[in-house]
Amino acid sequence: MNKIGVHALTFIGDIENPSIEKCLSQVAKIGYDVMELPLLNPDALDTRFVSKAYEKFNIEPTVSLGLSYKTDIASEDQDRVKLGRELLFKALEKTIDVGSSNLCGVIHSALQKNDAPKTKLGYENSLSVIRDLAKKAEQNNVTLSLEVVNRYETNIMNTAEEAMNYINDLGDTNVKVHLDTYHMNIEENNYSEPIKKIGKDKLGMFHFGENHRGYLGSGHINFEETFKSLKEINYSGIITFESFSSEVVDPVLSNTLAVWRNLWSNSEDLAAEALKFIKNGLRP
Ligand code: MN
């Protein structure tokens, strides 16, 4: 059975100690195995406290990050690439320090709407940073999983096929792919082909999100096909529920993701329903 996680922004809009502790206690009470910690402000993260809090509630941490314009490693501007490289190595350190073996998200480029396609130089810059980061990650038993997101959030990889091309262009690394049904709904023909294209060996992380990012099962994502495909490839990794509403806001991330409306107001009910939905779907 896969471990099932929930994104912290389902409950909290910042990653200060009291918020993390409150979130972990709710997540544990509902019955999740994993809580994804978005590195909203890596410098301020108190890793000693946070790692102990995860242990206290017996929840496994995963860490995610989205780069920004200023830290875009897929840029042609060497200053931004350098800042992005520094941020990613810092994020990896924080990942190790909170006791996580997973760093995922949009770490290959800026999480932003671009006004032009990727460039060869920008793409090479991204590969070069991720190659170096992957070496350090591997030495520390951390798996990097690159999230495939829709065209309005990156120009580096919008489909599983582009992600596999990127992985091949990296050469010999242990870097994996992170798929998300919310993004697949926008860019892919269906849910089975991308999951099978990535396959068990390269699928490192999986996000469950509805097409509007609200309650699972209330929209039109084909979760039946998704569950079936994950079972067919024997995916044994983490499945994380990701949802956003104007009820819980981080000013930067919520605006980047265009979270403008209220899709739910009760985090606990939302997360409990999502856990039930995922457990049901995973039954053989
Ligand atoms: Mn996601």
pLDDT in tens, 148-187: 999 999 999 999 999 999 999 999 999 999 999 999 999 9
pTM over 0.95? The answer is yes
Kindly list the structural domains of the chain, giving each domain's residue range(s) and its CATH number in brackets, ordered by start: 4-282 (3.20.20.150)
Mean pLDDT, rounded, for 194-199? 98
With a cut of 90, say whether residue 75 has pLDDT above it.
Answer: yes
- Residue 242 CA, ligand 1 centroid: distance in Å: 6
For helices 160-170 and 120-139, what crossing angle results, to 10°? Answer: 70
- What separation in Å is there between the alpha carbon of 250 and the centre of ligand 1? 15
Distance from residue 122's CA to the centre of ligand 1 (Å)? 23
pLDDT above 90 (res 41): no
How far away, in angstroms, is 103 Cα from ligand 1 center? Answer: 12
Report the catalytic residues.
147, 242
Looking at the predicted structure, is the pLDDT value of residue 274 above 90?
Answer: yes
Beta bridge partners of 40: none
Q: Do residues 181 and 223 touch, judged by C-beta distance below 8 A? A: yes
In this structure, the chain runs to a length of: 284
